[in-house]
């Protein structure tokens, strides 16, 4: 498979996952803000920016209207939902011959729907809902219409790497903000924790595992270490490693060893992790380390399959 | 007047089929249907307008769903348009085709000998058959190709030659496309669609197949495998090099690559190392032996040609000259489809092959010749004036359909740069029946067959018939409101 094609499939998938995640987080925030009242709105939006990993979001720069609009509709804001969808489609367009026509049509539909609508922030629920549904539909179409070969594995790798990064960032931002010894306003903080779970579609699954008794340690354990919940970091990383192993098998490159080792180490970090030790050593430190390793996986994937130096490839 | 009108009136759905002095593909000068059109004529009489419309819709949908589009330049969004396809096939007899095939084979053979000659000894120039200054002043002449031996002497591997039919019924060559001719995918797809829409008619008529084109193209490309790779036992790696998704013919590039089962690559997928060409794959670098390139000479290698090209591959030309990779078409073939050189093709055929041309040229006036120029400029309203290096219907003046200002503009341009222009008399292209507004009407058509030159010459029977869909129009280019139709060569 051409490196350029692999690159486009990988990014198409990452951008779509990014749009879906952002749509979910913003939707939950809109809900929470209704509970909180309007005095803290500016701060709230600033936190949304941080939990989506947007850089340079000093609190002063933001106010509700401009930040929210920008997160939703500003194509020049690289983190906005619109920009993510546009980028996903642009990548798909480059490899239109490699994906199924059903995939292309669905992504195209989503793109046109997003470009058409530009609602007020407080009316954005339907818009956000359509993004989530559109992304889910695309994922289903992809799985059922595309050969599960090397290209599909790159799509998987992109999706789960993006998800691992997004959830790590979100959980980190949330714990920095709200994980303090119990104090006044516990009710409101309770809502925030539920919001975090909902942002990862995890509330119901969490309740089944731990009942509705919301405790930060348990939430951390669930979102970071749960082996079979699809939005936990561990699950994402295991799926990422599986995709990388498949790619190595399909491409048959001798240089694959390095990226497989790095992905394997990341998987082991989570697979053998203990929540009390993680909390003891500082969850934020731990998540920062995960993010660093995710970055390494990305670089190694690139160096192995996509933008390798000529000399390295000729030796192989 | 009334007498003439009734004489040529045909029954529905042909009631609006008016005849004039152009050659008609279906009806002879006495108003009788030609024998090879009889099956189609009768089938159309039996089908209702609604039924025809239904089939037209099926055809249009089929083109839309397959994404058979071309790009109109100079617009922002929604630049992709469907290529209009007419429902009714254009039919040629076996005798007509044999003559065309012989003529095209002769022509490409002579043109390849000519290209080899002018990039080596230049005998034809020394003998004064073709003026030296026309060759060296041609903007598509590539001095970098001097003295370089092209694999199998196949300069032009893929050609698309535009033929038109004179009022006398004779086929003549209007122009050669020897650089990166396109349109062959429309020929293949519209045949697929026609077979689905008119199966009974298809069987009754006995149409020669064209489906082997992709196979023939692949064998032709394989014949160009560089010597060193040809000796090794492994299969040569052949790729199709496209400028990318924004190119107007991208659909065709993807289509052909898929049909041949070869990789569709862009410039950035290829790297040159030690004069060998590789493509970047996830499994590492893979040697490339033959490139079917759909990028113009100018953009193919920023080190050898235009430095501002980001479509090409730096170092590709050196690898090519080193004989480590073959390209189809070779670089520098554009000199032979320069419209001023075109005027000399009959002489070129006589010079190399010692034969008379089977297919004649359209009478052509060179504006660089003062006498011919004076003659044409005095009667611009009767002539078609063309820039020598352009294609696709850009940069031309159609005298009878022009305004006085346009003619003045062209007169100025011709006088400023005479070498850059030629003129031809306005020719009434032949007309073929088309399905328009619910009935059958005649429209002007041309014919572009595709010729392959490798170990042997292959011309698939038929080609792309292009139609000027606007009533009375003589311009068939897709960028100027033209469409296409399937072409049937009967067995």
Q: What is the CATH number of the domain that holds B145?
A: 3.40.50.11290
What is residue B163's three-state secondary structure?
strand
Query: Closest Cα of chain B to A246: distance in Å?
Result: 12
Q: pLDDT value at position B78? A: 46
Average pLDDT over residues B347-360: 97
Q: Do B257 and A3 touch (CB under 8 A)?
A: no
Asked if the structure places residue B329 within a domain, the reply is yes
Residues in chain B: 491
Q: Are residues B236 and B338 in the same domain?
A: yes
Neighbouring residues of B234: CB distance < 8 A, sequence distance ≥ 6: none
- Among chain B residues, the shortest Cα distance to A7 is held by B282
Let me know: does B425 contact B382? Beta carbons within 8 Å.
yes
ipTM of the complex: 0.81
Model pLDDT for residues B433-460, shown as the tens digit of each residue: 999 888 899 999 999 999 999 999 999 9
Query: Which among B269, B271, B283 has the least Cβ separation from residue A310?
Result: B271
Q: Are residues B253 and B388 in the same domain?
A: no
Q: Please give the structure tokens belonging to residue B357.
A: 């041309």
Q: pLDDT value at position B80? A: 58
User: Which of the residue ranges A183-187, B129-133, B204-208 would you say has the lowest mean pLDDT?
Assistant: A183-187
Contacts of A86 in chain B (CB under 8 A): none
Q: Are residues B216 and B303 in the same domain?
A: yes
Q: Are residues B267 and B399 in the same domain?
A: no
Question: β-strands B263-265, B238-241: how paired?
Answer: parallel
Asked if the structure places residue B8 within a domain, the reply is no
- Among chain B residues, the shortest Cα distance to A253 is held by B283
Q: Are residues B286 and B332 in the same domain?
A: yes
Q: Do B271 and A150 touch (CB under 8 A)?
A: no
Q: Are residues B329 and B421 in the same domain?
A: no
Q: What is the CATH number of the domain that holds B402?
A: 3.30.1490.270
From first to last of its 316 residues, what are the pLDDT tens digits of chain A? Answer: 999 999 999 999 999 999 999 999 989 988 888 777 666 676 777 778 888 877 654 445 556 667 777 788 777 777 789 999 999 999 998 888 889 888 988 998 898 888 777 667 677 888 899 999 999 999 999 999 999 999 999 999 999 999 999 999 999 998 988 876 555 556 678 888 999 999 999 999 999 999 888 888 999 999 999 999 999 999 999 999 999 999 999 988 778 999 999 999 999 999 999 999 999 999 999 999 999 999 999 999 999 999 988 877 775 4
Asked if the structure places residue B430 within a domain, the reply is no
Let me know: does B157 contact B224? Beta carbons within 8 Å.
yes
| Separation of alpha carbons B412 and B380, rounded Å | 12
Model pLDDT for residues B106-120, shown as the tens digit of each residue: 999 999 999 999 999
Q: pLDDT value at position A65? A: 65
Q: Which residues of B touch A (CB under 8 A)?
A: 65, 67, 244-245, 254, 257-258, 263-266, 268-269, 271, 273, 278-285
| Separation of alpha carbons B369 and A55, rounded Å | 68
Instruction: Choose the final residue of a domain: B408, B425, B442.
Output: B425
Instruction: Choose the final residue of a domain: B377, B401, B425.
Output: B425
Neighbouring residues of B80: CB distance < 8 A, sequence distance ≥ 6: B67, B69, B70, B71
User: Residue B20's pLDDT band (boundaries 50, 70, 90)?
Assistant: confident
Q: Please give the structure tokens belonging to residue A266.
A: 């990341």
Contacts of A251 in chain B (CB under 8 A): 281-283
Q: Are residues B341 and B379 in the same domain?
A: no
Burial class (CB in 10 A: 0-12, 13-18, 19+), B160: buried
Q: Are residues B118 and B221 in the same domain?
A: yes
- Among chain B residues, the shortest Cα distance to A306 is held by B282
Contacts of A4 in chain B (CB under 8 A): 266, 268-269, 280
Q: pLDDT value at position A21? A: 95
- Among chain A residues, the shortest Cα distance to B254 is held by A97
CB of A97 within 8 Å of any CB in chain B? Answer: yes
| Separation of alpha carbons B16 and B23, rounded Å | 17
| Separation of alpha carbons B78 and B439, rounded Å | 31
Contacts of A103 in chain B (CB under 8 A): none
User: Residue B35's pLDDT band (boundaries 50, 70, 90)?
Assistant: very high
Q: pLDDT value at position B73? A: 54
Per the structure, the count of domains in chain B is 2
A:B CB pairs within 8 Å: 58
Q: pLDDT value at position B230? A: 78
Let me know: does B217 contact B158? Beta carbons within 8 Å.
yes
Asked if the structure places residue B42 within a domain, the reply is no
Q: Are residues B125 and B247 in the same domain?
A: yes
Q: pLDDT value at position A53? A: 77
pLDDT at residue B60 above 90? no
Q: Identify the residue with better confidence: B479 or B205.
A: B205
Q: Are residues B331 and B388 in the same domain?
A: no
What is residue B466's three-state secondary structure?
strand
User: Which of the residue ranges A51-55, A160-164, B399-403, B462-466 would you say has the lowest mean pLDDT?
Assistant: A51-55
Q: Are residues B130 and B172 in the same domain?
A: yes
User: Which of the residue ranges B239-248, B386-395, B412-421, B478-487 would you say has the lowest mean pLDDT?
Assistant: B386-395
Query: Closest Cα of chain A to B154: distance in Å?
Result: 29
Q: Which candidate in B282, B286, B313, B319 is best for mutational testing of the A interface (most A CBs within 10 A)? A: B282
Tell me the whole-structure pTM to 2 decimals: 0.86
| Separation of alpha carbons B166 and B383, rounded Å | 16
User: Which of the residue ranges A194-198, B23-27, B35-39, B231-235 would you say has the lowest mean pLDDT?
Assistant: B231-235
Q: pLDDT value at position B391? A: 66
User: Residue B4's pLDDT band (boundaries 50, 70, 90)?
Assistant: very low
Burial class (CB in 10 A: 0-12, 13-18, 19+), A253: buried
| Alpha-carbon distance values, B107 to B41, B190, B201, B450, B452 (Å) | 34, 27, 34, 12, 12
Let me know: does A128 contact A27? Beta carbons within 8 Å.
yes
Let me know: does B240 contact B253? Beta carbons within 8 Å.
yes
Query: Closest Cα of chain A to B71: distance in Å?
Result: 14
Instruction: Choose the final residue of a domain: B325, B353, B381.
Output: B353
CA dihedral (B39, B44, B46, B51) positive or negative: positive
Q: Do A251 and B282 touch (CB under 8 A)?
A: yes
Tell me which H or E stretch contains B489.
strand B482-489
Cis peptide preceding B38, ω within 30 of 0: no
- Among chain A residues, the shortest Cα distance to B243 is held by A94
- Among chain B residues, the shortest Cα distance to A307 is held by B280
Other beta carbons less than 10 A from residue A273's beta carbon: 16
Q: Are residues B403 and B297 in the same domain?
A: no
Give the range of the structural domain holding residue B394, as residue numbers without chain letter: 363-425
The residue ranges of every structural domain in chain A are 1-146, 148-316
pLDDT at residue B428 above 90? no
Q: What is the mean pLDDT of chain B?
A: 90
| Angle subtended by helix axes A3-36 and A186-199, to nearest 10 | 160
Cis peptide preceding B443, ω within 30 of 0: no
């Amino acid at each position: 498979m051409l490196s350029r094609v692999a690159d486009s499939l990988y990014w198409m998938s990452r951008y779509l996952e990014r749009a879906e995640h952002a749509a979910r987080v913003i939707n939950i925030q809109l809900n929470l803000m209704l509970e909180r009242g309007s005095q803290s709105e500016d701060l709230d939006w600033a936190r949304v920016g941080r939990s989506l990993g947007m850089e340079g979001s000093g609190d002063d720069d933001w106010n509700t209207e401009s930040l929210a609009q920008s997160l939703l509709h500003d194509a020049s804001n690289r983190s906005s939902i619109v920009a993510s969808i546009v980028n996903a489609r642009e990548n798909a367009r480059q490899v239109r011959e490699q994906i199924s026509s059903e995939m292309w049509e669905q992504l195209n539909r989503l793109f046109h729907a997003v470009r058409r609508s530009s609602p007020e922030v407080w009316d954005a629920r339907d818009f956000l809902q359509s993004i989530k549904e559109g992304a889910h539909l695309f994922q289903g179409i992809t799985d059922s219409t595309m050969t599960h070969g090397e290209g599909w594995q790159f799509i998987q790798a992109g999706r789960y790497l993006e998800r691992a990064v997004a959830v790590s960032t979100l959980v980190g931002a949330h714990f920095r903000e709200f994980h303090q010894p119990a104090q006044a306003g516990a009710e409101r903080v309770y809502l925030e924790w539920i919001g975090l779970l909902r942002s990862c579609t995890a509330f119901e699954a969490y309740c089944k595992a731990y009942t509705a008794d919301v405790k930060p340690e348990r939430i951390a354990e669930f979102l970071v270490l749960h082996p079979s919940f699809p939005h936990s970091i561990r699950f994402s990383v295991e799926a990422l490693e599986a995709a990388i192993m498949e790619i190595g098998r399909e491409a048959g490159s001798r240089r694959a060893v390095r990226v497989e080792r790095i992905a394997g180490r990341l998987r082991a970090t989570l697979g053998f992790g203990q929540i009390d030790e993680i909390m003891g050593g500082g969850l934020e430190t731990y998540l920062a380390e995960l993010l660093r390793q995710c970055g390494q996986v990305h670089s190694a994937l690139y160096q192995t399959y996509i933008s390798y130096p000529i000399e390295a490839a000729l030796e192989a | 007047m009334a007498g003439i009108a009734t004489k040529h009136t045909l029954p529905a759905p042909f009631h609006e089929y008016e005849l004039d002095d152009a050659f008609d593909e279906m009806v002879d000068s006495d108003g009788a249907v030609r024998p090879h059109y009889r099956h189609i004529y009768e089938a159309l009489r039996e089908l209702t307008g609604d039924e025809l419309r239904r089939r037209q819709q099926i055809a249009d949908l089929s083109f839309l769903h397959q994404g058979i589009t071309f790009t109109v330049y100079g617009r922002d969004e929604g630049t992709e348009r469907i290529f209009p396809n007419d429902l009714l096939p254009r039919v040629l007899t076996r005798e007509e085709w044999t003559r065309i095939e012989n003529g095209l084979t002769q022509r490409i053979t002579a043109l390849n000998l000519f290209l080899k000659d002018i990039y080596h000894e230049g005998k034809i120039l020394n003998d004064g058959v073709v003026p030296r200054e026309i060759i060296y002043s041609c903007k598509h002449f590539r001095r970098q190709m001097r003295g370089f031996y092209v694999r199998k002497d196949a300069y032009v591997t893929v050609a698309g030659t535009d033929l038109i039919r004179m009022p006398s019924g004779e086929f003549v060559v209007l122009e050669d496309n020897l650089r990166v001719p396109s349109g062959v995918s429309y020929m293949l797809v519209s045949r697929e669609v026609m077979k689905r829409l008119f199966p009974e008619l298809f069987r009754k008529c006995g149409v020669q197949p064209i489906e082997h084109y992709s196979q023939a193209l692949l064998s032709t490309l394989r014949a160009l495998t560089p010597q060193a790779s040809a000796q090794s036992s492994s299969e040569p790696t052949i790729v199709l090099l496209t400028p990318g998704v924004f190119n107007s013919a991208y659909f065709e590039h993807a289509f052909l690559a898929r049909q041949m089962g070869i990789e569709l690559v862009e410039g950035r997928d290829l790297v040159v190392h030690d004069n060998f060409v590789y493509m970047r794959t996830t499994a590492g670098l893979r040697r490339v032996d033959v490139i079917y390139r759909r990028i113009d000479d100018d953009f193919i290698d920023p080190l050898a040609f235009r430095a501002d090209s980001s479509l090409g591959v730096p170092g590709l030309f050196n690898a090519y000259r080193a004989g480590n990779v073959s390209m189809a078409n070779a670089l520098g073939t554009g000199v032979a489809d320069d419209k001023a050189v075109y005027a000399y093709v009959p002489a070129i055929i006589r010079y190399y092959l010692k034969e008379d041309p089977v297919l004649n040229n359209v009478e052509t006036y060179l504006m660089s010749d003062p006498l011919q120029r004076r003659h044409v400029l005095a009667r611009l309203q009767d002539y078609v004036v063309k820039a020598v290096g352009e294609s696709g219907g850009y940069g031309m003046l159609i005298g009878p359909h022009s305004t006085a200002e346009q003619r003045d503009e062209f007169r100025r341009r011709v006088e400023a740069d005479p070498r850059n222009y030629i003129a031809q008399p306005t020719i009434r292209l032949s007309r073929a029946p088309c399905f328009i507004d619910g009935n059958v009407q005649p429209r002007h058509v041309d014919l572009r067959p595709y010729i392959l030159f490798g170990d042997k010459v292959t011309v698939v029977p038929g080609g792309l018939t292009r139609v000027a869909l606007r009533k009375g129009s003589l311009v068939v280019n897709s960028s100027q409101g033209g469409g296409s139709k399937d072409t049937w060569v009967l067995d």
